[in-house]
Copies of this chain bind each other. A is one copy, B any other.
Amino acid sequence: MSVYSDNISLKAKGFADMHDITPKLREIVATSKLKEGILTVILPGSTGGITTIEYEPGVLKDLEELIEKLIPSGRTYHHDSTWGDGNGFSHLRSALIGASFSVPFQGGKLVLGAWQQVTYIDFDNRPRSRLLHVQLVGE
């Protein structure tokens, strides 16, 4: 049994900018040499979220519209009155979708469906360089 860690570096545009991180996660599992266990990926930050979705343009646009409907970007939140950085909506979206996600791996492969991609969504209101942290525990 051991633990293996790595990072995924990406340039995010914000405003529900989506990134399929599955290929990178697969590489990390392969490099780790671990065969069976659990992988957890997290954004160490408060304005992004991670979930799974079929990574095709139609449903990604649907997800963006859904998030905009549930937590509109075009209004003032209490958070904005506190800090004046205008990204109250970004924080709420992150809290709702969740900043971490866990996936088992077996036989050296992530246990995911063929049309299911682990997707990082950047909710901030400006471009940012992001470093996601990936941790594997297994054997």
**Chain A residues close to B by CB (< 8 Å):** 1-3, 5, 36-38, 40, 42-46, 51-54, 56-59, 61-63, 65-66, 70-71, 77-83, 88, 91-92, 94-106, 111-113, 115-116, 119, 133-135, 137-139
Does more than half of chain A's interface fall in helix, strand or loop, or is it mixed?
mixed
CB contacts (< 8 Å) of A42 on chain B: these are 102-104, 111-112
* Pairwise interchain contact A137-B38, C-beta atoms closer than 8 A: yes
Q: A2-B139, A54-B91, A98-B101 are in contact. Are A62 and B77 (CB under 8 A)?
A: yes
* Pairwise interchain contact B59-A92, C-beta atoms closer than 8 A: yes
Q: A46-B54, A46-B113 are in contact. Are A138 and B3 (CB under 8 A)?
A: yes
